């Protein structure tokens, strides 16, 4: 009998459009001969199965099921692809833990840590992971351009401390640009991180684990046409994405080993993608840990899966079956 799989998308952040594109990608990747696959769109208190373009069916949040024409469908597994709250920060993971439904990605703690960029950096720094200097501002707090000159320097990046897809991110080159950038970032969330600029080559590396094996993908080099890897670069093609990256075999191996090490430190689960800057002297600096990475047809992970000579449908099946077996 086929298992019922929910691809959980949408969410309550600016990244909802990206999430829905990832859901469409995942839907195309999953083996329909093996699974009944449904897209569940979550927006605030509205949770609906997208049965068709015309028909949406409300989810019963008591057990994450839905009923159509008197027939109840209960899900066996949830693949979370919400970028932002509540799917990337541990909230939805906590709900699935409470109702006993296996899901695709990191648990509550790992999701909460990685979603908060400043907290994640400070946590991983204690394990010897190199990160940029940064400060965090919470609602009501301020900082002067002069203080940033002393503590961080220019240029620097001002970004929402939670969130992704480069919404609200500004590269600040002078003191006069700082306050408008902070206001822009606060428009996306309640915390703002100001982070030192790191000169170098941007790369990203994905991986996943099952009970039987660890799979670390080839490294991708990111060459944006703009000043940094912003929304237009990510989703409008204004970037070169080179897989495998144009770095030495030795450095590639180091990046892959570091990716697996960070995955283990955080006790990650499912597919995770970690972004880095390679600075002078082949120093590997952490940028960000993505526990629900983009899964559109052109996203990094599908590219890396293909470059590894793997089939994305097989990867999806491995992740789903591993969680179902571990849950039993």
The answer, yes or no, to whether residue 164 has pLDDT greater than 60, is no
The CATH fold of domain 112-130+199-327: D-amino Acid Aminotransferase; Chain A, domain 1 (3.30.470)
The answer, yes or no, to whether residue 235 has pLDDT greater than 50, is no
Checking DSSP bridges between strand 77-80 and strand 3-10, what pairing results, if any? parallel
Centre a 10 Å sphere on the Cβ of residue 272 and count the other Cβ atoms it contains.
26
DSSP single-letter state for residue 103: B
Q: Is the pLDDT higher at 48 or at 84?
A: 48
Residue 236 has a pLDDT of 54
pLDDT, the chain, mean: 93
Average pLDDT of span 298-308: 95
Residue 229 has a pLDDT of 47
Burial 13-38 (b: 16+ CB within 10 A, else e): bbbbebbbbbbbbbbebbeeeebebb
The answer, yes or no, to whether residue 227 has pLDDT greater than 70, is no
User: pLDDT-based confidence at 220, cuts 50/70/90?
Assistant: very high
Average pLDDT of span 106-119: 95
Secondary structure string (H, E, C) spanning 215-272: EECCCEEEEECCCCCCHHHHHCCCEEEECCCCCCHHHHHHHHHHHHHHHHHCCCCCCE
User: pLDDT-based confidence at 230, cuts 50/70/90?
Assistant: very low
CATH class in words for 3-105: alpha beta
Phi-psi category of residue 142: left, alpha or beta, with phi > 0 → left and psi -120 to 50 → alpha:
beta
Residue 226 has a pLDDT of 66
Task: Find all residues with CB under 8 Å of 36, minimum gap 6, and list them.
Answer: 2, 3, 4, 5, 73
Least confident of 121-125, 183-187, 215-219: 183-187
User: Residue 65 forms beta bridges with which residues?
Assistant: 60, 74
The answer, yes or no, to whether residue 78 has pLDDT greater than 80, is yes
The answer, yes or no, to whether residue 234 has pLDDT greater than 60, is no
User: pLDDT-based confidence at 14, cuts 50/70/90?
Assistant: confident
Percentage of the residues of the chain whose pLDDT score is greater than 70: 95
CA distance 161 to 267: 21
The answer, yes or no, to whether residue 231 has pLDDT greater than 60, is no
Average pLDDT of span 62-73: 97
The answer, yes or no, to whether residue 120 has pLDDT greater than 80, is yes
Residue 237 has a pLDDT of 58
CA distance 147 to 138: 16
Residue 167 has a pLDDT of 75
User: pLDDT-based confidence at 233, cuts 50/70/90?
Assistant: very low
The CATH fold of domain 134-196: Dna Ligase; domain 1 (3.30.1490)
Residue 163 has a pLDDT of 62
Residue 168 has a pLDDT of 82
The answer, yes or no, to whether residue 225 has pLDDT greater than 90, is no
Listed by start position, the domains of the chain span 3-105, 112-130+199-327, 134-196
What phi, psi does 233 have (nearest 5°)? Answer: -65, -40
Least confident of 83-87, 144-148, 226-230: 226-230
What phi, psi does 60 have (nearest 5°)? Answer: -85, 110
CA distance 163 to 115: 7
């Amino acid at each position: 009998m086929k298992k019922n799989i929910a691809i959980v998308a949408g969410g309550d952040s600016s990244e909802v459009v990206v999430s829905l594109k990832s859901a469409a990608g995942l839907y195309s990747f999953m083996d329909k001969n093996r699974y009944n696959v449904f897209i569940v769109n979550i927006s605030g208190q509205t949770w609906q199965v997208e049965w068709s373009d015309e028909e949406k069916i409300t989810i019963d949040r008591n057990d994450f099921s839905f009923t159509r024409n008197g027939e109840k469908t209960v899900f066996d597994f949830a693949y979370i692809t919400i970028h932002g709250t509540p799917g990337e920060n541990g909230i939805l993971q906590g709900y699935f833990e409470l109702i006993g439904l296996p899901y695709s990605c990191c648990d509550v703690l790992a999701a909460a840590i990685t979603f908060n960029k400043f907290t994640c950096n400070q946590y991983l720094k204690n394990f010897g992971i190199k990160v940029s200097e940064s400060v965090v501002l919470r609602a009501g707090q301020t900082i002067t351009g002069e203080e940033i000159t002393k503590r961080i320097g220019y240029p620097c990046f001002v970004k929402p401390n939670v969130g992704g897809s480069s919404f609200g991110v500004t590269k600040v080159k002078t003191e006069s640009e700082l306050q408008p950038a902070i206001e822009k970032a606060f428009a996306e969330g309640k915390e703002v991180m100001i982070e030192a600029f790191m000169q170098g080559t941007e790369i990203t590396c994905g991986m996943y684990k099952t009970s039987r094996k660890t799979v670390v993908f080839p490294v991708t080099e990111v060459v944006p046409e703009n000043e940094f890897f912003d929304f237009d670069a990510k989703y409008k093609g204004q970037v070169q994405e080179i897989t495998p990256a144009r770095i030495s075999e030795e450095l590639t191996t180091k990046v892959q080993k570091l990716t697996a090490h960070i995955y283990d430190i955080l006790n990650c689960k499912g597919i995770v993608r970690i972004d880095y800057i390679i600075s002078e002297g082949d120093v590997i600096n952490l940028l960000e840990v993505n526990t629900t990475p983009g899964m559109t047809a052109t996203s990094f992970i599908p590219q890396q899966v293909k470059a590894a000579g793997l089939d994305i449908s097989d990867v999806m099946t491995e992740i789903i079956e591993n969680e179902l077996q571990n849950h039993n």
